[in-house]
Chain A
């Protein structure tokens, strides 16, 4: 692939802490290689800022291979930027050309308060999992793994839902800041497996309850979450979650 260099203008959200008022600041970067990742471009900018004696831009990142779910930039109005099913760290600069202006914001959601600049607090997701996103099995002598055959198609569907990385792009992309795609991915992962069956009703209701408590918005079937999900988590999961939830509520065995 032909490699080229470019100069860019960046408009980046700066916010001192959760209480301070934020604003956009404009930066220029030059000599950006088309082979860099988007975050490596930010590394260049931050090195430049350190050299100028300024404070670098805070952003979350860790694995830089698209799986940890930590990176979380809202790039030119899209969660994780323009590439389909791609996290920010896997977006590469060959997407851009010399002279482009790129606007970068944090995830915007009341349930994800800004910690600093582009860093937000996604603790709400952990609390939703803690409310029921598990199978209650203690460490010990579980039965032999192959004593429980599972239909391959079900297992594959369960895996597809379980690939959610918990990044929060679904919430950031949704005009209502709904967390339904995230919650439905976990409910589907576990509901599609026989091991998850005993707790399926309490799981769905407890997780939904926690999601509401955290202040996430309602789902109105817009589909932006699916479109921006870096792992391609399907909207069908939301339909399944609705069935699970209604089933739980109407069976009367769980609180609504």
Chain B
């Protein structure tokens, strides 16, 4: 199938305006008889379900958690970007567009990214109208801060809990639609299959996780808003339940998977403390506004951080990238940390960590406070105390979290941090209308591949999730459903539903009948280790080929030796997890194949064979300026289709933050 991205013709800045003015509409009476299924209730899903409910569609929303409010968007810390230019620092829609294209290392679509930048300002307006309590200045106006890969302050935030506040806003909107009867909510339900009729997505099979019963649900269209697949690495900053299952089922039903190897490794996470580790915790990128990253200049320096004098510290980001300093994009900062640790300069007991230090920020803020309060002559301790209060107000919850996890006081000693898997830029391939290659099946938010290229800039995930849900899908869905208004709801005793349910049932029975000796958790850990070692921050052809072989062997072992206790028709988290890990194993193979095929370095994808003399990523635009869209052709069989990226406005150049 030829890929058609359906980018509207015309100049970049008028594409979306033209689309909105000319797309087909569905009249209110017809909306009432059109049923929409929304899977996942994070920022993309909750905002889409609420908005479509408001418009009059009959919506069913599904989440595997006990409440839609728990989706992992809730954990996003730092902020959300918007081209408001409230700080008068030269921001504009074009600049946000340009930063995002460049940040993504020229592997995203201009049309999509420009639309994202264009609607960003509306998102902030919408959220404030809903009562999202963003941080404000004393004058009562909204406050901004900086994030990586930009030289303006365009990030809106609510302490270190921006994702929570935005999700609660969308969740409240969703609950309002539930109370009005426009949305039916199915919590503790997991989607296990897409049902296709005459080539179109017409519903899903979901499992009620409390009773274990399978359910059939019809929809004129199905929206997957199911997040990313970082948990393929076992250890990541994702929630324990975050999974690829819905997206993977869609993939096996014909939805192409775009750039699966594009993974974001976030530079500032709390390091692994031992084999027991179940997840990794992010320390927000916003900390790099004020924290300085360093390692000792001497190899194997075992002194306490506070005993190492200033001149013996290597602020390696400031040294290597003077223009952006500590605020280089995530991929660059992560690789730089790995380089220092691999070279023997790491700190902490594992030596796989670097310092994130707030001492100078605390004193700087302290002096400002002292000045404000007319205490110019205050002593060092008093200044320190005032500065500490300012830092506490900005980042208090993050510092508390760090202290609880590590038992150390980050106000006194620098944080130890190390990169960890955080986000996946890859995802289901979608066109400009967010539709996958299966008609009627859409993917929104992190679940799609569309806007971040090979590396996402900080504070842009929240922006994209809400852009897709609030401002894009309400138009693009209508444009397609306008042709579907004559389709009556299809009864779920249709043979396609019967067959899909049978397939799901067979797979569950097969999993339960293995009765092996090794736990699901153990298989997941083993998969994670292969992925991290061979498809992580540095990748090469040899390692990736080995990984494919190892993953296939792991898959065979899983399907012959996994042990799942309990029964099918009951609340059985081990069974839920088994299905997810089985899908992660298959996805892992595809990620390695994709990484193997792309013999260039771009963004978060670093092929060791393709780097400059000083170790920077080396792109190959001649050969790889495309989206790799993979089609599922049967077990371990994938065929790649290319969507060539045409840059009409931006001229791709070597990405430099020096």
Contacts and interface: CB of A to CB of B under 8 A. Distances in A.
Contact of A17 (B54, B131, B571): B571
A36 B134 CA distance: 34
Interface in B303-361: none
Given A40-B277, A115-B571, A68 B72 contact: yes
Max chain B C-beta neighbours (<10 A), residue from A47, A49, A56, A67? A67
A33 to B, nearest CB: 6
Nearest to B161: A163
Interface in A112-145: 115-116, 119, 121-123, 125-126, 129-131, 133-145
Contact of A150 (B68, B140, B277, B278): B140
A163 B471 CA distance: 26
A36 B407 CA distance: 11
Contact of B69 (A16, A64, A69): A69
Contacts of A138: 51, 54
Contacts of A37: 278, 405
Contact of B521 (A36, A47, A155): A47
Interface in B434-493: 470-471, 474
Contacts of A91: 404
Nearest to A140: B126
B140 A64 contact: no
Q: A-B pairs with the 4 shortest C-beta distances?
A: A149-B140, A134-B172, A142-B129, A1-B407
B22 interface: no
Contacts of B129: 135, 137, 142-143, 195
A145 B131 contact: no
A189 B86 CA distance: 25
Contact of B571 (A58, A66, A140, A165): A58
A64 B171 CA distance: 20
A11 interface: no
A166 B67 contact: yes
Max chain B C-beta neighbours (<10 A), residue from A131, A189, A196? A189
B125 A62 contact: no
Interface string B42-71: 000001001100100000000001111110
B74 A152 contact: no
11 contacts: A33-B273, A51-B519, A65-B281, A115-B210, A129-B171, A136-B176, A139-B51, A139-B474, A145-B124, A145-B127, A149-B136
Contact of A152 (B136, B210, B521, B570): B136
Interface string B122-159: 10111111110111111111100000000000000011
Given A62-B70, A70-B65, A155-B133, A35 B176 contact: no
Contact of A142 (B126, B407, B566, B570): B126
Given A37-B405, A91-B404, A146-B84, 15 more contacts: A33-B273, A51-B519, A63-B74, A64-B240, A65-B237, A68-B75, A115-B571, A116-B570, A125-B67, A142-B128, A145-B127, A152-B138, A159-B133, A159-B159, A189-B133
Contact of A139 (B50, B68, B140, B239): B50
B416 to A, nearest CB: 12
Chain B, interface size: which category?
35 or more
Contacts of B273: 33, 35
A50 B574 contact: yes
Given A33-B274, A141-B122, A195 B130 contact: yes
Nearest to B129: A142
Contacts of B281: 64-65
B12 interface: no
Interface string B373-415: 0000000000000000000000000001100111110000000
Chain A, interface size: which category?
35 or more
A30 to B, nearest CB: 13
A215 B240 CA distance: 32
B168 interface: yes
B66 A121 contact: yes
Nearest to A32: B276
A232 to B, nearest CB: 10
Given A40-B276, A144-B125, A166-B69, A158 B133 contact: yes
A46 B133 CA distance: 40
A50 B565 contact: yes
B279 interface: yes
Nearest to A126: B67
Q: Tell me whether chain A's interface is mostly helix, strand or loop, or mixed.
A: loop
B565 A55 contact: yes
Contacts of B69: 69, 126, 166
B136 A155 contact: yes
A51 B519 CA distance: 7
Max chain B C-beta neighbours (<10 A), residue from A53, A66, A137? A137
A83 interface: yes
Contacts of A122: 66-67
A63 B71 CA distance: 9
Contact of A129 (B130, B172, B276): B172
A159 B156 CA distance: 14
Interface in A23-47: 33, 35-37, 39-40, 43-44, 46-47
B178 interface: yes
A66 B140 CA distance: 30
A78 interface: no
A67 B164 contact: yes
B70 A148 contact: no
Contacts of A46: 521
Interface in B92-140: 122, 124-131, 133-140
B176 A94 contact: no
Interface in B155-197: 158-159, 161, 164-165, 168, 171-173, 175-176, 178-179, 185, 187
Nearest to B279: A64
Given A1-B406, A64-B278, A195-B131, A123 B187 contact: yes
A86 B474 CA distance: 39
B607 interface: no
B276 A43 contact: yes
B162 to A, nearest CB: 11
B161 A145 contact: no
A61 interface: yes
Contacts of B652: none
B574 A134 contact: no
Contact of A39 (B125, B164, B278, B573): B278
A188 B341 CA distance: 48
Contact of A64 (B239, B470, B570): B239
Nearest to B48: A139
A21 interface: no
A67 B161 contact: yes
Contacts of B241: 62
Contacts of B66: 60, 70, 121-123
